[in-house]
């Protein structure tokens, strides 16, 4: 029997050598699952906490995903926990997640040494979540609104498409609330378009639990961030509930259908929606009465 000599002078038979190379591959896979399983193709975007890559699955033909790489923190755990519970055509689909010791970075993908990776590199114990999600278009509802604002407001296509997009978002928010979650950061930038053309709510980084069963109870919450311009007045306080999402939806609906050019127009709309606090519901009659 031929005996192989390993670099560290242990002796391996061919069978042992095969077993050890398989173990090594498994080890490499566990350490670098992202690059073992996927070919990272493109940096799709970066947020305050992470980066999102377009990645091709190595073993599947023409199957692409969005993989978000974020530091392991409570916020990202909350995001994954919620996403894993949700399955809806208008919510960015989550597949799975895993943890690695380092955050992927590739200068060839315009992925410079900026942001959270370099900031955290001094912390050798930092771990990273890799969240495998449905790949969407990089153009969000924000882009859609900016494009439509360049066109005439009389454009009937804006209304037609706008109503369809609104219905899809409302359906997703209803579903999120039915699962007793509050998104808390609804805004056009967080509404993506799937490759199937459907509107999809993403970025569940601020998601929280709604109250347990009592629709009228207001939960005591840590006063958390969100996006100021879409935030319901009560969200700046400690007690609020899912209606904060309906408030943001109301503003988004206005922006989808109308060009809010000035701060004054925006303030008027915000005031109108605030005055409807008690009516904030998904019901069509309220949505129609906005106009
Ligand atoms: N599933 C996806 N498919 C395609 N692009 C995506 C997907 N998810 C995110 N992106 C892109 O990556 C960018 C960064 O997303 P990410 O959720 O990390 O940041 P963010 O929305 O700015 O949130 P944060 O509030 O955490 O900073 C988004 O703006 C979007 O353009």
Q: Cα–Cα distance between 183 and 204 in angstroms, integer? A: 6
- Provide the whole-model pTM: 0.80
pLDDT at 112 over 80: no
pLDDT at 75 over 80: no
Q: Which of 137, 155, 185, 245 is catalytic?
A: 185
Q: Is residue 61 part of a domain?
A: yes
**b (16+ CB within 10 A) / e for 3-24:** eeeeeeeeeeeeeeeeeeeeee
> Strand, helix or coil at 25?
helix
Same domain, 122 and 206: no
Residue with CA nearest ligand 1 atom 4: 136
Ligand 1 pocket by Cβ (under 6 Å) = 44-50, 52, 66, 68, 92, 133-136, 138, 190, 192, 202-203, 205
Of 3 and 89, the one with more pLDDT: 89
- Residue 189, domain CATH: 1.10.510.10
Domain count, the chain: 2
pLDDT at 223 over 60: no
| Ligand 1 midpoint to CA 206 (Å) | 13
| Ligand 1 midpoint to CA 204 (Å) | 10
Of 225 and 177, the one with more pLDDT: 177
DSSP-assigned letter for residue 255: H
Best substitution site from 203, 230, 231 to test ligand 1's pocket, by max atoms within 8 Å of Cβ?
Answer: 203
Out of 103, 134, 165, a domain closes at: 134
| Ligand 1 midpoint to CA 55 (Å) | 14
pLDDT of residue 277: 64
Of ligand 1's listed atoms, the one at least distance from the Cα of 92 is 1
Task: Residue 151: give the domain boundaries.
Answer: 137-277
> What's the mean pLDDT when you consider all of the chain?
80
Reference 202, options 71, 73, 47; nearest CA is: 47
Among the ranges 24-28, 102-106, 252-256, which has the highest mean pLDDT value?
252-256
- Residue 108, domain CATH: 3.30.200.20
Best substitution site from 44, 67, 82 to test ligand 1's pocket, by max atoms within 8 Å of Cβ?
Answer: 44
- Residue positions counted in the chain: 291
pLDDT at 213 over 80: no
Same domain, 217 and 172: yes
pLDDT of residue 118: 40
Q: Is 212 a catalytic residue?
A: no
pLDDT of residue 28: 65
**Whether the Cβ atoms of residue 256 and residue 162 lie closer than 8 Å to each other:** yes
Same domain, 130 and 146: no
User: Which of the residue ranges 27-31, 92-96, 187-191 would you say has the lowest mean pLDDT?
Assistant: 27-31
pLDDT at 119 over 80: no
Q: Is residue 97 part of a domain?
A: yes
pLDDT of residue 79: 80
pLDDT of residue 291: 41
DSSP-assigned letter for residue 109: G
Q: Is residue 148 part of a domain?
A: yes
DSSP H or E run through 145: helix 141-150
Same domain, 193 and 257: yes
| Ligand 1 midpoint to CA 266 (Å) | 25
pLDDT in tens, 12-69: 576 677 667 777 666 666 678 999 999 999 999 988 778 999 999 999 999 999 999 9
Same domain, 124 and 144: no
Out of 86, 104, 134, a domain closes at: 134
Residue 176 binned pLDDT confidence (cut-offs 50, 70, 90): very high
Same domain, 181 and 111: no
Q: Cα–Cα distance between 74 and 71 in angstroms, integer? A: 9
User: Which of the residue ranges 40-49, 55-64, 208-217, 271-280 would you say has the lowest mean pLDDT?
Assistant: 208-217
Residue 278 binned pLDDT confidence (cut-offs 50, 70, 90): low
Q: Is 68 annotated as a binding residue?
A: yes
pLDDT of residue 47: 81
Of ligand 1's listed atoms, the one at least distance from the Cα of 136 is 3
Out of 134, 168, 197, a domain closes at: 134
């Amino acid at each position: 029997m031929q005996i192989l000599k390993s670099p560290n002078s242990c002796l391996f038979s061919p069978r042992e050598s095969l077993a050890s190379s398989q173990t090594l591959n498994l080890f490499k896979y566990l350490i670098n699952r992202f690059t073992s399983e996927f070919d990272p193709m493109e940096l799709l975007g970066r947020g305050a906490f992470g980066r999102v890559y377009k990645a091709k699955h190595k073993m599947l033909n023409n199957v692409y995903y969005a993989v978000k790489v974020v530091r392991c923190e409570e916020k990202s755990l909350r995001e994954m926990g919620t996403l894993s519970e949700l399955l809806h055509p208008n919510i960015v689909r989550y597949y799975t997640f895993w943890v690695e010791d380092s955050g992927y970075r590739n200068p060839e993908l315009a992925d410079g040494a900026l942001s959270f990776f370099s900031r955290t590199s001094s912390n050798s114990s930092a771990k990273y979540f890799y969240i495998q999600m449905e790949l969407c278009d990089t153009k969000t509802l924000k882009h859609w609104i900016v494009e439509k604002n360049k066109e005439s407001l009389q454009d009937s296509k804006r209304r037609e498409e706008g109503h369809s997009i609104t219905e899809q978002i409302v359906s997703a928010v209803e579903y999120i609330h039915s699962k007793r979650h509050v998104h808390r950061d609804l805004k056009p930038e967080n509404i993506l378009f799937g490759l199937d053309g459907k509107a999809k709510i993403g970025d569940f980084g601020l998601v929280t639990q709604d109250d347990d069963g009592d629709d009228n109870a207001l939960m005591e919450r840590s006063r958390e961030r969100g996006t100021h311009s879409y935030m319901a007045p009560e969200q700046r306080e400690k007690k609020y509930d899912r209606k904060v999402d309906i408030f943001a939806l109301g503003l988004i609906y206005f922006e989808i259908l109308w060009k809010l050019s000035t701060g004054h127009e925006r303030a008027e709309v915000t005031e109108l929606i605030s005055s409807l606090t008690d009516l904030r519901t998904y019901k069509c009659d309220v949505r129609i009465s906005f106009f």
